[in-house]
Amino acid sequence: MSAELQLPKGFLWGGAVAAHQVEGGWDQGGKGVSIADVMTGGSHGVDRVITDGVQPGHFYPNHKGVEFYSHYKQDVALFAEMGFKCFRTSIAWTRIFPNGDEQQPNEAGLQFYDDLFDELLKYGIEPVITLSHFEMPYHLVKEYGGWHNRKVVDFFVRFSEVVLNRYKSKVKYWMTFNEINNQRNWQYPLFGYCCSGVIFTEHEKPEQAMYQVMHHQFVASAKVVKLGHDINPDFQIGCMIAMVPVYPFSCHPDDVVLAQESMHQRYVFSDVQMRGYYPAYTLKEWARKGYDIQMEADDAETLRQGCADYVGFSYYMSNAVKTDASGVDDPITGFEGVVKNPHVKASDWGWQIDPVGLRYAMNELYERYQKPLFIVENGFGAIDKPNANGVIEDDYRIDYLRAHIEEMKKAVAYDGVELMGYTPWGCLDCVSFTTGQYDKRYGFIHVNKNDDGSGDFSRGKKKSFSWYQQVIASNGENL
Ligand code: P53
């Protein structure tokens, strides 16, 4: 392939996880209880339950995760063997500020991430760090009502300031809030809870409460971006959204406009973080619905000064909407009028597989913001079964990733989209977020731990391990 059709040199190939889904050690090293620690295990169709604190008699899968806290050296060595250029994880807020409202950080927690980052850098792997990935201190939920309370902005900024300073010479790539737009689906308790520790349906005006939380997080994100650039001008600090393109089911103009409105609901999150001001469609919606969002006098200026440097996003699926599909909602995205797209297949969890949608999504985001993109999650959750020789031949995962990488390359090489890197989700098997399962797996690296309780957390290589190794070695040419 000619040079202009290739991915750029220095492209950040890697993998992604989040602290609460891999680390375990939930009560070690002085760590406090996080919101992930009070979520039980579920399964496809069986919701995870959010309990009132940690209660006896329940199974909380995130307490052990996949024991990355004690296995990280082994795991990082395997990432290095695959050729990772970067590794995305998050810092568990509760390791640094166990309750969230302390004045002084917990040194043992800070030391753990020093050790982890040193281990990565030893192999030339760049850490890519999310500051908040569904794991805020439970104490801030109980005592303050989560992100609905403006005080949480200051707690988050304090936490961020500590870690941005501490790791300023070790970490260059940051993101503020993981999938900040998931909480747009305020009807479904899990999403508001994971993003901001709020169950919106408990509020008198749930949607208004969601927008209030959103505003607090925008202010927090902008403050952290500005602070970060002051600490180290080389920092690249991104926003992070779940990018689920919504297609019109038909070319009926009403379907087209419905799809556009659905996208507005999601885009407001990146619009404000990338542009530094509220889009007109949101201000009009608030006026129309009579929503009163509390803002402080200098918030507008804060937002303007804290635009993110790049768009981090996850991409797993697309959706389609139809005007006359009343009552049909998608539990993951919460869009009204969602219908099955007859042109694409779905995973066992109903996530619609649409590689071409990734190219479309990349073009949409790049045209919208004209800032670099970073695909920080993409992947295929599946039940893996070892063959007679005990090897997991996960060709379905390879097929999924190959098809997405092909489209990603088209977006870069044909369409000219600026892309920093690609970090498939769950490079190491981990606890599923939506269902709390072990058996819904994404990894190149298998972790021997199963929903029936069996398994010793030992690691193994799946077929996709050597496949991804050659993808990276050839900079995406050998797929
Ligand atoms: P699990 C919705 C749409 C796209 C991605 O999910 C989503 C969601 C749900 O929030 O979540 C991200 O493990 C999230 C990760 C999560 C991953 O997708 O339910 O950032 O924490 O594990 C995969 O299969």
Half-sphere exposure at residue 5, Cβ-oriented, CA atoms within 13 angstroms? 6
Average of per-residue pLDDT values in the chain: 96
For atom 22 of ligand 1, the residue with the nearest CA is: 433
Statement: residue 326 has pLDDT above 70: no
Report the alpha-carbon angle 234-270-339, nearest 5.
140
| Residue 347's pLDDT band (cuts 50, 70, 90) | confident
Ligand 1: centre distance to CA 402 (Å): 20
Model pLDDT for residues 288-314, shown as the tens digit of each residue: 999 999 999 999 999 999 999 999 999
Sheet holding 319-321, edge to edge: 246-248, 319-321, 338-339
Statement: residue 333 has pLDDT above 80: no
For atom 5 of ligand 1, the residue with the nearest CA is: 242
Statement: residue 349 has pLDDT above 90: no
Instruction: Output the pLDDT for position 4.
Output: 59
Ligand 1: centre distance to CA 156 (Å): 22
6-10, 215-219, 281-285: range with lowest mean pLDDT: 6-10
Distance, in Å, from the CA atom of 76 to the CA atom of 59, rounded to the nearest integer, reads: 28
ipTM value? 0.94
On whether the CB atoms of residues 353 and 424 are closer than 8 A, the answer is no
Pocket lined around ligand 1, Cβ cut-off 6 Å: 18, 21, 178-179, 182, 242, 244, 314, 316, 332, 377, 381, 425, 432-435, 440
- Give the closest residue to 84 by CA, choosing from 383, 348, 471, 431: 471
Ligand 1: centre distance to CA 31 (Å): 24
- Give the closest residue to 157 by CA, choosing from 227, 229, 233, 231: 227
Model pLDDT for residues 406-455, shown as the tens digit of each residue: 999 999 999 999 999 999 999 999 999 999 999 999 999 999 999 999 99
Instruction: Output the pLDDT for position 329.
Output: 61
Model pLDDT for residues 24-36, shown as the tens digit of each residue: 999 999 999 999 9
Q: Tell me, yes or no, if 418 is annotated catalytic.
A: no
Between 6 and 259, residue with greater pLDDT: 259
Catalytic residue among 377, 393, 406, 407: 377
Ligand 1: centre distance to CA 328 (Å): 21
For atom 4 of ligand 1, the residue with the nearest CA is: 242
Distance, in Å, from the CA atom of 473 to the CA atom of 13, rounded to the nearest integer, reads: 10
| Residue 324's pLDDT band (cuts 50, 70, 90) | confident
| Single-letter code of the amino acid located at 252 | H
Instruction: Output the pLDDT for position 406.
Output: 97
For atom 18 of ligand 1, the residue with the nearest CA is: 433
Statement: residue 220 has pLDDT above 60: yes
DSSP annotation string for 313-348: EE----EEE-TT-TT-B-TTT--BTEE--TTSEE-T
Atom of ligand 1 nearest to the CA of 242: 4
